[in-house]
């Protein structure tokens, strides 16, 4: 989990595109991944995303993220597999039977989940929060208040994760064993830790909001940011490439 959505700065295609634009592109890619009709279309989007990540030095991250989402989608996979009744049965498991159509839809579902979430996760990993907020204000004319709230919420996730890790370390030091396999027992250990953690995070967020206001955050206008975010040639190429890839995905 650590560093999942954090950007450490880097070079490559994903980094070069305008922050607002790449979030829009990622959304478009994600939506398309859900809308495509075929396995090959979803696969195409996923592979293309991984390729773009590779050329931004994020190849490893892309693969590990894809695997993480794959793990999460196992549940959906199993449900799909067991519940689809159409098609020719290939395996009989008493009450349930697995059909070829069931297998097809289950694979498609898992692939779509991966292809739909990967672009956004990668783009967020290659975009500094401040750049995203500033660009939303500059390019899309969104009031800084909302842009800032959005990006701060994004920050909340890695913050919560790292704090959770700290609390679990502390509990381990007191002899609590988190390495147990049984997921229900594990949840019973972790869930009670979550609530106080959320509360302390909320309190800190309140204090942060005060600190931000005292530093004039409500006064910020469109031209205030130190960096500028003009749209250029690179961005036009990115839009074009995205349009080509997504159209191809629908045809496949």
Partner 1 sequence: MIKIENLSFIYDGGRKKALDDVSLHVPKGAFYGVAGASCSGKSTLLRAVAGIVPHFMRGRFFGTVTVAGVDTLSAEPQQLARTAGFVGEDIESQLICETVEEEIYFGLENFALPHDEIEVRAAAAMEMLSIASLRGRRISSLSGGQKQKTALAAMIALSPQILILDNPSAELDPAATENLYSALAELNAGGMTIITAEQKAGVLCRFATHMTILKEGRALASAPVQQVMDDTELLRDAGIMLPRRAELSSRLKAEGLYSGGTPLDIQQAAGMVKGIMQ
Chain residues in the site for partner 1 (CB under 8 A): 6-8, 128-130, 152, 155, 159, 162, 204-205, 207-208, 210-221, 223-226
DSSP state of 215: T
| CB 218 within 8 Å of CB 145 | yes
Residue 231 φ then ψ, to 5°? -90, 140
Q: Give the residue with the Cβ less far from partner 1, 51 or 209.
A: 209
Q: Give the residue with the Cβ less far from partner 1, 3 or 192.
A: 3
How distant is the alpha carbon of residue 103 from its chain centre?
26
Min CB(2)–partner 1 separation in Å? 10
| Residue 46 Ramachandran class (φ > 0 left, ψ -120 to 50 alpha, else beta) | alpha
For residue 127, what are the contacts with CB-CB under 8 A and spacing of at least 6? 7, 15, 19, 22, 23
Q: Single out the residue of 85, 48, 86 nearest to residue 66, CA to CA.
A: 48
- Segment holding 78, helix H or strand E: helix 59-83
Min CB(124)–partner 1 separation in Å? 13
Min CB(55)–partner 1 separation in Å? 24
Distance (Å, rounded) from C-alpha 197 to C-alpha 200? 5
Min CB(61)–partner 1 separation in Å? 17
Q: Give the residue with the Cβ less far from partner 1, 117 or 134.
A: 134
Q: Give the residue with the Cβ less far from partner 1, 173 or 219.
A: 219
For residue 59, what are the contacts with CB-CB under 8 A and spacing of at least 6? 50, 53
Q: Give the residue with the Cβ less far from partner 1, 208 or 247.
A: 208
Min CB(137)–partner 1 separation in Å? 10
Min CB(246)–partner 1 separation in Å? 31
| CB 66 within 8 Å of CB 114 | yes
Q: Give the residue with the Cβ less far from partner 1, 6 or 12.
A: 6
């Amino acid at each position: 989990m650590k560093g999942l959505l954090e950007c450490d700065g880097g070079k490559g295609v994903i980094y070069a595109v305008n922050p607002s634009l790449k979030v829009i592109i990622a959304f478009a890619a994600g939506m398309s991944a859900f809308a495509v009709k075929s396995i090959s279309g979803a696969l195409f989007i996923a592979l293309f995303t991984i390729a773009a990540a590779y050329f931004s030095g994020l190849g490893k991250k892309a693969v590990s993220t894809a695997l993480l989402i794959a793990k999460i989608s196992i549940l959906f996979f199993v449900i799909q597999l067991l519940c689809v009744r159409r098609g020719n049965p290939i395996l009989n498991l008493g009450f349930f039977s697995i059909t070829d159509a069931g297998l097809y839809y289950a694979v498609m579902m898992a692939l779509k989940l991966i292809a739909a979430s990967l672009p956004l996760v990668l783009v967020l990993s290659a975009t500094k929060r401040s750049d995203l907020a500033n660009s939303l204000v500059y390019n899309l004319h969104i009031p800084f208040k909302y842009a800032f709230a959005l990006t701060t919420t994004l920050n909340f996730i890695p913050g919560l994760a790292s704090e959770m890790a700290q609390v679990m370390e502390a509990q381990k030091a007191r002899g609590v064993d988190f390495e147990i396999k049984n997921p229900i027992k594990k949840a019973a250990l972790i869930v009670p830790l979550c609530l106080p953690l959320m509360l302390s995070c909320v309190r800190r967020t309140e204090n942060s909001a005060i600190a931000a206001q005292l530093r004039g955050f409500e006064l910020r206008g469109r031209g205030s940011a130190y960096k500028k975010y003009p749209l250029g040639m690179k961005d036009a190429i990115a839009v074009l490439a995205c349009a080509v890839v997504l159209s191809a995905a629908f045809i496949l």
